[in-house]
Structure 1
Amino acid sequence: MTHAHDHLPHEHTPHEHTPHDDRAQAEILDLDAEVLAEHIASITAWLPLKSAPRQIVDLGCGTGAGTFALLDRFPDAHITAVDTSAGHLQLLREKACAQGVLDRVRTVQADLDAAGWPDLGTPDLVWASASMHHMAHPERALRSVRELLAPGGLFAVVELDGFPRFLPYDVPEHRPGLEERAHAATNSFHAEHVPHRGADWGPMLSAAGFTVEDERTITVRIEAARSEAVTRYARSSLQRLRGTAAPALGTEDLAALDELLDARSPHSILHRDDLTVRTERTVWAARRA
């Protein structure tokens, strides 16, 4: 498993964090939640539920993007938010307090790769967004979810199609295709550390005793003009990408990327008005077979 400082912006790991990693990753998770809020809400509205859930578990909750979307969607629900990071859970509690919903949230610090999970109740809905692919033993985790769910309960697995893209292909002019080469430079790292990223969870869910009731892929395309946060999200995300790509990225590409990330440079990404968040999310909705 990879460490938090190597992760992509939308990913949060069930493993340990350092306080510095927590803070840096929390910033990106919060930007991710802000920029993609409309898409997260559309997923919660799409879920093929038989009735409104009263007890929900958010696995790998991070700083609460899914937690708060689900609280908004299901006003009578209580949510158990699970993450390995004490820092992320503290931020989630502070947000819940500020929004006046702390009485509807319980936080649990746990390593979801552990053989035995803590008592998470008997939820009607289990939500796992960008967390399942971090599991070292996904088959065991899926079986644990199956045992957890109430009869007739739903398991929603949400995964992104890799790292989002932000730059036009011809940026920068002297190194066109830079962003794609930076992504390619991370392939071997992710193949080793996060082999289940981009996996088709349908067969794994079936093997674990679920029936996949529905599957949906959502195309995300958000222009910077629609959200000022897109620019900050792009810069923070590409800084994270640089950290993973640097060992395998050519010298000229690395210099060009650093220029884009340098807030003092006239060519900084902060001065661009042509940024677009481009990615896909796939959702699998499954019940106990």
Structure 2
Amino acid sequence: MTHSHHDASVPRTHGPAAGRPHVHDQVDASDGGDDLLDLDGEVLEAYWGVALDRVTAAAAEGLGVVGRSPARVVDLGAGTGTGAVGLARRLPEAEVVAVDVSEPSLARVAVKAHAAGVGARVRTLVADLDTGWPDLSPIDLTWASMSLHHLADPVRSLAEVRRLTSPGGLLAVSEFDEPLRFLPDDLGIGRPGFETRALEVLSTVHAEALPNIGASWAAMLAESGWTVVDQHDVVIDERAPDHPLAGRYARAWFARLEDGLSGRLDAEDQVTLEALLDDGPQGLLHRSDLHLHGIRSLTLARA
């Protein structure tokens, strides 16, 4: 996945914040965004798994010692811990450091890690990576899902990660190549094409607040001294998703969209959005025509 996350994100209209996650772009813990991140991790668990399996396999291949498993793993912009806990499960000998700017998000990481039986190997670290990097060396594997585009200077930050990385260590960058979508073109309410128009407005918001969304991460990695070794797309395609939380996930996403695009939709589309968020039969919690689809890109680079 990737979450791949991936962009299919909910906007932060107040500008970037270092070390934020991941998956839907991007929401603040202070206003309920952590619930959305948790739902993303649950509903798209299989897609996260595809990405994390690929990353852990590549990390072990590059360390140059037979049987050597990554010893220190860093999740940059860990959010509520989908990546950090998933990596800890896959790498039973690794210490995983979950880095984020949000203390409430990291508190959820700790709870998830304990519930998964990996709490002793997952530690959390509050840091704003635009103001300075903690000394986490030597790092064997870094996972950055939907976080790097929030940094003020991603190239400088990527160079810093490389400086802290062991020879042969791996950096995995997960972003959305295509916005995550949930709805058919004709909803039976409003005029057709609501989601397309909403995403066009979202794209304008992102261009203003998050100029690095849609950047060529392979080019940035090369510029900062990394060697790109793999680029892979994880295609999300869930028609009539049977996950019991799919409707809640869609509703949480569009609720954040409503906050971020306040005053930017035309009157008819605003009415449509309100109907989708309502508890009535046309609302997202009760629709049988949801279709989750998008593309999460995964770029792997070696030090």
Per the TM superposition, whether the score is higher than 0.5 is yes
Q: Is the 8 A contact 1:162 1:198 kept in 2?
A: no
Question: What's the CA shift string for 1:145-183, capped at 9, x where partnerless?
Answer: 111111110000011135411000111343210111111
> Aligned residue for 2:138?
122
> Aligned residue for 1:36?
44
> Aligned residue for 2:208?
192
Instruction: Name the amino acid aligned to 2:52.
Output: T
Q: Is the 8 A contact 1:182 1:242 kept in 2?
A: no
- Listed as ranges, the matches of 1:71-110 within 5 Å are 71-110=88-127
Q: Is the 8 A contact 2:190 2:268 kept in 1?
A: no
Considering Cα pairs closer than 8 Å and 6+ residues apart, tell me whether 1 or 2 has the greater RCO: 2
For residue 132 of structure 1, report the CA deviation from its aligned partner: 0.6
Matched, 1:45 2:62: no
Question: What's the CA shift string for 1:167-215, capped at 9, x where partnerless?
Answer: 0011134321011111111222110111111221011100000110010
Q: Residue 52 of structure 1: SS of its match in structure 2?
A: coil
CA distance in 2 between partners of 1:5 and 1:238 (Å): 20
Normalising by structure 1, we get a TM-score of: 0.91
- Structure 1 residues 5 and 30: CA distance shift in structure 2, 3 A: farther
For residue 243 of structure 1, report the CA deviation from its aligned partner: 1.9
One of 235, 238, 241 as aligned partner of 1:219:
235
- Percentage identity across paired residues of the two chains: 42
For residue 2 of structure 1, report the CA deviation from its aligned partner: 4.1
CA distance in 1 between partners of 2:89 and 2:22 (Å): 26
Structure 1 portions without partners, runs of 5+? none
CA distance in 2 between partners of 1:235 and 1:5 (Å): 24
Q: Residue 150 of structure 1: SS of its match in structure 2?
A: strand
Matched, 1:63 2:80: yes
CA distance in 1 between partners of 2:208 and 2:16 (Å): 16
One of 150, 155, 177 as aligned partner of 2:171:
155
> Aligned residue for 1:171?
187
Q: Is the 8 A contact 2:22 2:78 kept in 1?
A: no
CA distance in 2 between partners of 1:3 and 1:61 (Å): 20
The range that moved more, 175-184 or 155-164, is 155-164
> Aligned residue for 1:237?
253
CA distance in 2 between partners of 1:173 and 1:8 (Å): 31
Q: Is the 8 A contact 1:165 1:278 kept in 2?
A: yes
Q: Larger helix proportion, structure 1 or 2?
A: 1
The range that moved more, 154-163 or 128-137, is 154-163
For residue 269 of structure 1, report the CA deviation from its aligned partner: 1.5
For residue 99 of structure 1, report the CA deviation from its aligned partner: 2.3
Matched, 1:272 2:280: no
Normalising by structure 2, we get a TM-score of: 0.87
Matched, 1:282 2:288: no
One of 21, 24, 27 as aligned partner of 1:10:
24
For residue 4 of structure 1, report the CA deviation from its aligned partner: 8.7
Structure 2 portions without partners, runs of 5+? 1-11, 62-67
Q: Residue 252 of structure 2: SS of its match in structure 1?
A: helix
Q: Residue 94 of structure 1: SS of its match in structure 2?
A: helix
Q: Residue 167 of structure 2: SS of its match in structure 1?
A: coil
CA distance in 2 between partners of 1:5 and 1:136 (Å): 7
Instruction: Name the amino acid aligned to 2:75.
Output: D
- Structure 1 residues 36 and 266: CA distance shift in structure 2, 3 A: closer
For residue 137 of structure 1, report the CA deviation from its aligned partner: 1.0
The range that moved more, 126-135 or 166-175, is 166-175
- Structure 1 residues 64 and 224: CA distance shift in structure 2, 3 A: farther
Instruction: Name the amino acid aligned to 1:287.
Output: R
Q: Residue 181 of structure 2: SS of its match in structure 1?
A: coil
For residue 224 of structure 1, report the CA deviation from its aligned partner: 4.1
CA distance in 1 between partners of 2:167 and 2:96 (Å): 18
Question: What's the CA shift string for 1:265-286, capped at 9, x where partnerless?
Answer: 2321211111011111101100
Aligned Cα RMSD in Å?
2.1
Instruction: Name the amino acid aligned to 1:187.
Output: S
Q: Is the 8 A contact 1:83 1:110 kept in 2?
A: yes
> Aligned residue for 1:27?
35
Q: Is the 8 A contact 2:146 2:175 kept in 1?
A: yes
- Structure 1 residues 148 and 2: CA distance shift in structure 2, 3 A: farther
Q: Is the 8 A contact 1:4 1:25 kept in 2?
A: no
CA distance in 2 between partners of 1:8 and 1:117 (Å): 19
CA distance in 2 between partners of 1:64 and 1:158 (Å): 15
